[in-house]
Amino acid sequence: MIRVLVADDEALMRAGIRLILENADDVEVVAEAGDGGEAASACREQRVDVALLDIQMPHRDGIAAARDIARLSPRTHVVMLTAFGEEESVTRALRAGASGFLLKDTGPTELIRAVRLAARGEPVLAPRITRQLLERHVRSGRDTEAALRRTEELTPAERDVLRLLGTGLSNAEIAAELHLSAGTVKAHISRILTRTGCANRVQAAVLAHDAGLLTDH
């Protein structure tokens, strides 16, 4: 079973998410929280595979909670729930260690799929949020030379994986594209994160964009 925590200051929103997830045979909502402090405490006290955190919460918001959870429960994958247009908050959450982002209007099927992907360490990126992030980086300018320096130790195979990761493909899709096993792709991604200093796949995707890898093919 995938053990999930749902954190949102609106009880109705938490109840709705719980109702959706309870329709999946392999997902169990093991805790709820009304603010970031409660969410971090719950992850510390019990095993949580995926934490769904609202970015905007009182007392201690989702971004602070993501930072706390990364420290207190490194095994927990954090997925932020956000509203369209909050790209600045998304960028801050990325730096705090969040591994995925979903819009609050995500449909039930996509929400369940996202939880399953997150539990496996797969990317969870709403397409509109991905576009926001990349557009924000384009507007703010990118340091291509710095990005290239961070990728210079990668092998050709790792660069290929990073390029496809930057387009938002899952491990399985990357494996199919490059004719590799899913395990090999996972190992490549682990080495990519270590060698480039990226905390997660989202940061790696932005790095691929900044280094110009997506325009090389």
Number of domains within the chain:
2
Domain match, 111 and 31 both: yes
Q: Do residue 86 and residue 109 come from a single domain?
A: yes
What phi and psi values does residue 7 have, to the nearest 5 degrees?
-120, 120
Residue 163 confidence (pLDDT) = 92
DSSP 1-36: -EEEEEE-S-HHHHHHHHHHHTTSTTEEEEEEESSH
The CATH number given to whatever domain includes residue 152 is 1.10.10.10
Q: In this structure, are 123 and 156 located in the same domain? A: no
pLDDT in 10s for each residue of the chain, 217 residues? 999 999 999 999 999 999 999 999 999 999 999 999 999 999 999 999 999 999 888 888 898 999 999 889 989 999 988 875 556 676 677 777 787 888 888 889 989 988 998 898 776 776 566 555 655 555 555 567 888 899 999 999 999 999 998 887 878 889 999 999 989 999 999 999 999 998 777 778 878 888 888 765 5
What amino acid is encoded at 126 in this protein?
A: A
- Name which of 145, 121, 157 is nearest 207 in CA terms: 145
**Structural domain ending residue among the three candidates 135, 160, 189:** 135
Residues 69 and 8 in one domain: yes
Same domain for 106 and 29: yes
Look at residues 106, 135, 164 and tell me which one is the last residue of a structural domain. 135
CATH code for the domain of 41: 3.40.50.2300
Give the pLDDT score at 126: 64
Distances (CA, A) of 64 to 56, 69, 76: 10, 9, 15
The whole-number pLDDT of residue 104 equals 82
Left, alpha or beta for 125 (phi > 0: left; psi -120 to 50: alpha)? beta
Q: Does the model's pTM come out above 0.75?
A: no
Domain that holds residue 153: 143-215
103 and 150 in a common domain? no
Indicate the residue among 135, 161, 185 that finishes a domain. Answer: 135
Pair 119, 178 in one domain: no
CB-based contacts of 67-73 (< 8 A; 24+ apart in sequence) = 67/96, 67/97, 68/36, 68/37, 68/40, 69/39, 69/40, 69/43, 69/97, 70/96, 70/97, 72/40, 72/43, 72/44, 73/40, 73/43, 73/44, 73/48
Q: 103 and 49: one domain?
A: yes
Residues with Cβ < 8 Å from 141, sequence gap 6 or more?
A: none
Same domain, 156 and 186: yes
Residue of 78, 174, 171, 168 whose CA lies nearest to 127: 168
Q: Are residues 20 and 123 in the same domain?
A: yes
Q: Are 10 and 97 members of one domain?
A: yes
Q: Are 113 and 13 in the same domain?
A: yes
